[in-house]
Structure 1
Amino acid sequence: MSDNSAALPFSTKFLYGFGSIAYGIKDNAFAYFLLFVYVQVFGLAPNLAGLAILVMLVFDAISDPLIGYFSDNTHSRWGRRHPYIYGSVLPVALSFFLIWDPPAGLSQNELFWYLLLVGVGIRTAITIYEIPSSALGPELTQDYVERSSLLAYRNWFGWWGGLAMWNLLWIFVVVSSQNGTQDARYLPETWVIYGIGCSIVMAIAIMVTGVGTHRHIPDLHVPKAATDQGQKSNFFQGLWRTLTVSKNYRILFIAMIVCWGASGLATNLTLFFYSFYWELKPINILTIGVSLFLAPLVSLKAAPMLAASIGKKRTALTFFTAAMVVENVLLLLRVLDILPANGTTALIGFVLAFHWMGVCCVIIANVTVASMVFDTVEEVELVTKTRMEGTLLAARSFAQKCMSGLGAFSAGLILQIAAWPEDARAGFVEQATLNTVATTAIVASVMLWTTGIWLVSLVNANQESHNERLRNLATASD
């Protein structure tokens, strides 16, 4: 077995992270597009669209830990993770395409069920890839800072994958809108093309990570204790013990759900605010999207450096707080009517700058918290004598899905409370309705963010405690 504390080569980090393009595309689509498209393009009521996306979380709560547990206890010539990575390719591609192409003429109830069932399909399929793939991280390295670096690559590819497809979509919308009589963002055909393109890219990305990391299978950190006890323990008892034995893990699990739910509220309303509150043209949205390519570069370089210099906990607290402020300040200023008018260069500049800063803050905080979850693997191993990366990292996957689930439900509820009009178009929604949406969103966002920040403050872990656990594990294995 190779030295798990040594620095990983660039190629390993690159290939490990590349598959996150698939998750990034799915995450970007569910966080920014899904609610908007089903409400504004397919005509589903906001509360029903939000409810369908929320109910998907019920299935996620079951599938995420189960897939993690099964992966942890899989024994094959391809190791514990790669059978799931390869097996997810076709289900991910097919289900993602179908969600953007519902049959024509469906009633409200039928469209609700279509969204729910196909949505469960894509989220389960991506989980089959994401959790085993994520679990490779703690197996590839045990180093405290190197894990943050590994996650930085993973998040970089995730963000760039989502942003690339975002910008290609808006290039298509800009060109189609100029050549046609309608804004292409409201046309069903636009989203069918988006679904086809994304499905192909997602399948390729997953295969690259599977094939690219295959050579590491013999060197992955899988102690014998994990194999022996994993086969003997009662399934549900072992699953429950793994998920609850660490207080830090329990706190981080809940904190991630709350914080990603807060972030999801903002992302699910982004296109509504872009289209109706700020009245941005497709070319304006494309400009913002292109600028965001720099955000992951800055953030993912900064995250490991900050973790090494001021610690992971302080980094997470600082940037979650900054995200809360940045996400809400422009909405508050518009409600108070002290921003430049819509359509002005100044207003577009403000929206671009604050969206850019918000993305940076969220990336840094999320990478750091995910790395803190990585560090609970050894904390749990000391007590249970098992390596259960997949089960533990189901928390990260489930929390990410809360970004779309809780976020979409909250956003749909807010739109329903504000009596959002059917077939709404920019310039024809009353300002009172828009201000109701903005004000309610601010209150909900601040409540969620402050709760999540408080929870992160309760975590009791640092680099010294992590290194001490590694020494104890090394002593126990001698």
Structure 2
Amino acid sequence: MLGPRRAKPVSRPSPPASRVLSPVQRAIYASGDFTINAALNALAFVFTAYFLIHVAELRPALAGLVPLIGRAVDAFTDPLMGRISDRTRWQWGRRRPYFLIGAVPFGLCFALLWVPVPFTHELLRFAYYAFVYCLLTTAMTVLSIPYLALQPEMALSYDDRTSLNTYRSAGAMLGVFAAVSVRPLAESFGGGPTGFQFAGFVLGCLFALPWFFVYRVSFERPEWREQEVSTTPFFRGLVEVLAHPNFRRLLALFLFSRMAIDVISTLLILYFTHWLLRSEDFERGMVIFLVAVVSALPVWLWVARRTEKTQLFAYGAVLWSAVQCVLFFVQPDWSRWTLFLLMAVAGAGYAAVDVMPWSMLGDVIDEDELRTGQRREGVYNGVFTFVRKLAGAVGVSLVLGVLDLLGFQANEPTSDTVRNSIRLLAAFAPLAFLAAAVISAGRYPITRAAHAQIVAELWRRRARSATRATSSTQSNS
């Protein structure tokens, strides 16, 4: 008589694959941030505040409305793209195929944005640039949302995410270099509307190319791709994400910090041109600023391994805020090198403010999985990216609207009232937003120890699920 069949020993699943990107692969992956940040900063630094006003000859109020209309489109497309990438189940992956789909439209739309249109009526010019702007932001959404959603999957640990986001931030800073080069590049092509058209074409090609290499070096973990697709309706899932308390706290921190970044990005070229009367020093100052940002990133990464992310964010914000206070007192006859020194100090603080929120987002997504059992990187990054764009559009629209009310006009003598208003806004508007961001950081509770507990519980849960699945398979056999 046969005894009971002995069950085969159940092997516990091994921890998630330890595959990580090499330093070279991280640098190539960061080139995606180079293109997106270059485009966004070209829109903020040059397109809205300079090209639309001085070249396309739109009123400041209409120029400020162009990005605001684009953000209205993003309010729908960013979260929707996150939902789409979460639910994609192609054999090539959930996220990476969109790098190939969006690359060429992204470069083409960027080039079209700088085309001088032959319309004599101001509203027709406004309609053209607003329409192409919306096309460009949609193409960026197709690329950036899957790109950002892929990060928590490739970098699993608390510190590895900080490392990958440091590489991303370095790539983003190189993108700012490209954005600052728009005016000099246009001048090299003869200047004026035609010069900007050729500059837009060259940069459009440059921005499309890296995405083919990003596709090559990035990867997706099979065990994440095989997770069950959420059946929660789109808007209900969006409400659930926004109901996540710690995500709301992170959103507040991110919103205020991005408004500080984008407001000063728009006003700085006007500050150099109309307050300091040194338009030619804008690009030089930005180069020093960006060199300081890139140089500070390894230092902040070293500090990040020894402190909490919110503390590091606050250190950077305070350092940057000190420079904002001094900007109000800078006079046109001050030494150029004194101003450049201030730009360098501000760059060091900016580096921490820029990199930390993105590093913290992956930790919030892990907490959401613990709460709901779902991985929703796409939706979270869609909302996050929309807030990043919305903050810039609202800030830019507000400050340009104020200048329009004060009578600011391109190619006309600038009154003392407008000059002092530019100085006041450039110094204190970002300072107010930075203060609100630091207050928000103090309310964010996910520390290194808390995240370690989240990850450990997630692994125990996955191990139990895998064991049950294995036992069920053996019973059926």
Q: What TM-score comes out, normalization by structure 2 length? A: 0.88
Q: Does 1:369 align with 2:374?
A: no
The alpha carbon displacement at 1:236 in A equals 2.5
Q: Does 1:333 align with 2:329?
A: yes
Count of aligned residue pairs for this structure pair:
449
1:73-472 equivalences in 2 (<5 Å):
73-167=87-181, 169-170=183-184, 173=187, 184=191, 187-213=192-218, 216-217=219-220, 219=221, 222=224, 224=226, 227-230=227-230, 232-241=231-240, 243-282=241-280, 284-330=281-327, 332-334=328-330, 339=331, 341=333, 346-424=334-412, 428-472=413-457
CA offset digits 1:89-112 (Å, max 9, x no partner): 121011111111141224222222
Aligned match of 1:48 = 62
The alpha carbon displacement at 1:202 in A equals 0.6
The alpha carbon displacement at 1:463 in A equals 0.5
The alpha carbon displacement at 1:458 in A equals 1.1
CA offset digits 1:420-470 (Å, max 9, x no partner): 13423xxx4233320122224444333322222222221111000001000
Gaps of 5+ in 2: 1-13, 464-477
The alpha carbon displacement at 1:388 in A equals 1.1
Any conservation in 2 of the 1:260–1:402 contact (CA below 8 Å)? no
* Residues 395 and 286 (structure 1), Cα distance of their counterparts in 2 relative to 1, 3 Å cut: same
The alpha carbon displacement at 1:172 in A equals 5.5
CA RMSD of aligned residues (A): 2.2
Give the Cα separation in 2 of the matches to 1:452 and 1:293: 22
CA offset digits 1:206-248 (Å, max 9, x no partner): 12101222xx23x356164xx3242x3333223322x134211
* Residues 462 and 369 (structure 1), Cα distance of their counterparts in 2 relative to 1, 3 Å cut: same
Letter in 2 for 1:285: F
Any conservation in 1 of the 2:314–2:438 contact (CA below 8 Å)? yes
Letter in 2 for 1:333: F
Letter in 1 for 2:446: A
* Residues 63 and 271 (structure 1), Cα distance of their counterparts in 2 relative to 1, 3 Å cut: same
Q: What TM-score comes out, normalization by structure 1 length? A: 0.88
Aligned match of 1:17 = 30
Give secondary structure in 2 for the equivalent of 1:423: coil
Gaps of 5+ in 1: none
Give secondary structure in 2 for the equivalent of 1:271: helix
Any conservation in 1 of the 2:259–2:395 contact (CA below 8 Å)? yes
Any conservation in 2 of the 1:30–1:404 contact (CA below 8 Å)? no
* Residues 265 and 281 (structure 1), Cα distance of their counterparts in 2 relative to 1, 3 Å cut: closer
CA offset digits 1:388-409 (Å, max 9, x no partner): 1121122432233135312320
* Residues 300 and 13 (structure 1), Cα distance of their counterparts in 2 relative to 1, 3 Å cut: same
Give secondary structure in 2 for the equivalent of 1:383: helix
Give the Cα separation in 2 of the matches to 1:4 and 1:321: 39
Greater mean alpha carbon deviation, residues 373-382 or residues 101-110 = 101-110
Any conservation in 1 of the 2:89–2:225 contact (CA below 8 Å)? no
* Residues 417 and 220 (structure 1), Cα distance of their counterparts in 2 relative to 1, 3 Å cut: farther
Q: Does 1:27 align with 2:30?
A: no
Any conservation in 2 of the 1:59–1:120 contact (CA below 8 Å)? yes
Give the Cα separation in 2 of the matches to 1:208 and 1:302: 28
CA offset digits 1:135-181 (Å, max 9, x no partner): 111001211011011011112112113303523742663x67xxx8x
Any conservation in 1 of the 2:317–2:350 contact (CA below 8 Å)? yes
Letter in 2 for 1:48: L
Any conservation in 1 of the 2:85–2:378 contact (CA below 8 Å)? yes
Greater mean alpha carbon deviation, residues 400-409 or residues 376-385 = 400-409
Any conservation in 2 of the 1:414–1:440 contact (CA below 8 Å)? no
Any conservation in 2 of the 1:223–1:387 contact (CA below 8 Å)? no
The alpha carbon displacement at 1:41 in A equals 1.4
Give the Cα separation in 2 of the matches to 1:313 and 1:122: 33
* Residues 133 and 461 (structure 1), Cα distance of their counterparts in 2 relative to 1, 3 Å cut: same
Aligned match of 2:8 = none
Give the Cα separation in 2 of the matches to 1:46 and 1:450: 27
Give the Cα separation in 1 of the matches to 2:84 and 2:309: 30
Any conservation in 1 of the 2:259–2:392 contact (CA below 8 Å)? yes
* Residues 26 and 164 (structure 1), Cα distance of their counterparts in 2 relative to 1, 3 Å cut: closer
Any conservation in 1 of the 2:116–2:194 contact (CA below 8 Å)? no
Letter in 2 for 1:228: E
* Residues 388 and 164 (structure 1), Cα distance of their counterparts in 2 relative to 1, 3 Å cut: same
